[in-house]
Amino acid sequence: MKLSVRRRRAGLRFTVIATFAFGAALLSAFITVATYAVARNYLVEQRQRVAQRQAFTQASFVRAGLLTSGARVSDVLGTVALSAESELVLYRRGQWYSSSLGAGENEIPTDLRAAVEGGAAAFAWSRRDAIPAIVVGVPVPEVDAHVYEVTVARELDATLRTLASVLGGVGIVTAIGGAVVGGWAARRVLAPMDDIARTAVQIAAGDLTSRLEATNDPDLSGIVGSFNAMVDALQERIARDSRFAADVSHELRTPLTALVTSVELLQRRAADMSPAASHAVTLIAREAARFRLAVDDLLVLGRLDTGAAALRREDTSVASLVMRALDVRGRSDDVTVDVDTDSVCFLDRRAMSRALANLYDNADRHGGGLVGASVTRDFGMAVIIVDDEGAGIEAADRERVFERFYRAGSRRSSPGTGLGLSVVKETVLAHGGTVRCTNRPGGGTRFIITLRTDD
């Protein structure tokens, strides 16, 4: 069995920040290493020169002391002025002498000893107690001796450690600074993309008047112009299609009214007709009513699509709106409205009343009957719940039931236009709310409308 692992790619913002941070860290590391190397070489060379001068001075003093008649080596070494970090080791005629008990022949590297025995002054680095020490050897042939000065470079070691810590800290700060600069650069670079995304979201939400602001940036002006031109073309296309649907629906109203009137006249004479003719008139009357409802819904949707339906909003009690819609449908006596917490919303009463009426009709027509409505509040939002006692809606159809002309499950064979829930959704969206459906506990379907409140 072959397993495939999809790796999540890093975003552009993260890539920009990481690039700046990595670049700053790389540059900082290079500068840190180079600075440390140059400073270390300079300090080490200076320390070597100082140690060599001191060693030659001490060798001259030892030579002068040993040339004195009757002078002993230990007395001469005892009179040499040494720093706290320096010691003298002397080799003469097969014996080793030292200015202190802590120094001896073991302090002298073999290579340095061989060089001095060859008659040349030399130096070498060693370590004492994990601290660097410089050993300078000077041959003194006049007294048949080799003088070695061992100096612990404690101060040099501390200086180099401090320098390394400072440079390391500077490198870390530089890397962090690079990340900060990268974040700033990412915001500047991605700001136009954020504007495009924000405008696209507004357009997707139905605000076709949203546009990108004009810019003087020559690199962005083409993108801005193309995006705005695309939205203009999209708005014009939607407006043209919506106007066409609205115009067709409007033109159909006159012949439809005449048809409905004629059918009503025929229904009044149904008693004088044969059973077949009476049944035909009944079918025509039912389809004419359905046709009239579809035309009305198409007109509402057309106005919502084009934005021509300017919402006349005012502060409205949600509970009173729900009960008013029930009263319009003649259901206020047999349907109970459970008001847990009422809210005041800025709504177009007529439009929202029609949307609620469509939900009530949908429950009666497709959901086995309206069983109740309730008003509550959740996280500062007004919530309207409408329940029916039908068979419920499958999870796969709960989003599609709000599409135009779509009918789910058993509703496909039920009477209706397939536009009622579309009107509900478009009306709620125009008010900045949301609508969804789910199954009611105990059976049936539950529609939930959420609206922003004024309080």
| CATH number of the domain encompassing residue 226 | 1.10.287.130
Q: In sequence order, which residues have a C-beta less than 8 Å from that of residue 430 and are 6 or more positions away?
A: 206, 304, 309, 311, 351
Do 291 and 232 belong together in one domain? Answer: yes
Which of 112, 139, 161 finishes a domain?
161
- Please say whether the beta carbons of 142 and 63 come within 8 A: yes
The number of domains in the chain is: 3
How far out from the chain centre does Cα 420 lie? 39
**Residue 184 in domain:** no
Which of 306, 339, 357 finishes a domain?
306
**Residue 213 in domain:** no
198 φ, ψ to 5°?
-65, -40
**Residue 69 in domain:** yes
CATH of the domain at 19: 3.30.450.20
- Please say whether the beta carbons of 421 and 414 come within 8 A: no
Do 414 and 333 belong together in one domain? Answer: yes
**Residue 386 in domain:** yes
Give the model's pLDDT for residue 198: 83
Give the model's pLDDT for residue 5: 43
Do 323 and 422 belong together in one domain? Answer: yes
Count of alpha carbons within 13 Å of 332, Cβ hemisphere only? 12
CATH of the domain at 322: 3.30.565.10
**Residue 285 in domain:** yes
Q: What tokens does 284 get?
A: 């025509």
| Pairwise CA distance, residues 277 & 288, whole Å | 16
Taken in order 365, 368, 373, 378, the sign of the CA dihedral is negative
Give the model's pLDDT for residue 10: 62
Which of 273, 306, 339 finishes a domain?
306
Instruction: Label residues 168-197 b or e (16+ Cβ within 10 Å = b).
Output: eeebeebbeebbeebbeebeeebebeebbe
Do 364 and 293 belong together in one domain? Answer: no
Do 19 and 154 belong together in one domain? Answer: yes
Do 21 and 115 belong together in one domain? Answer: yes
Give the model's pLDDT for residue 98: 85
**Residue 407 in domain:** yes
**Residue 185 in domain:** no
Do 285 and 342 belong together in one domain? Answer: no
Range(s) of the domain holding residue 273: 218-306
Give the model's pLDDT for residue 330: 77
Q: Which amino acid is residue 383, in one-letter code?
A: V
Do 276 and 336 belong together in one domain? Answer: no
**Residue 179 in domain:** no
Do 222 and 117 belong together in one domain? Answer: no
Give the model's pLDDT for residue 371: 86
Do 393 and 434 belong together in one domain? Answer: yes
Q: In which residue ranges of the chain is pLDDT below 50? A: 1-6, 308, 410, 412-413
Beta bridge partners of 146: 91, 139
| Pairwise CA distance, residues 138 & 435, whole Å | 97
| Pairwise CA distance, residues 210 & 71, whole Å | 104
Give the model's pLDDT for residue 269: 76
Do 264 and 298 belong together in one domain? Answer: yes
Q: In sequence order, which residues have a C-beta less than 8 Å from that of residue 407 and are 6 or more positions away?
A: 401, 414, 416, 418
Find, among 442, 318, 454, 299, the residue nearest to 375 by Cα.
318
Do 291 and 351 belong together in one domain? Answer: no
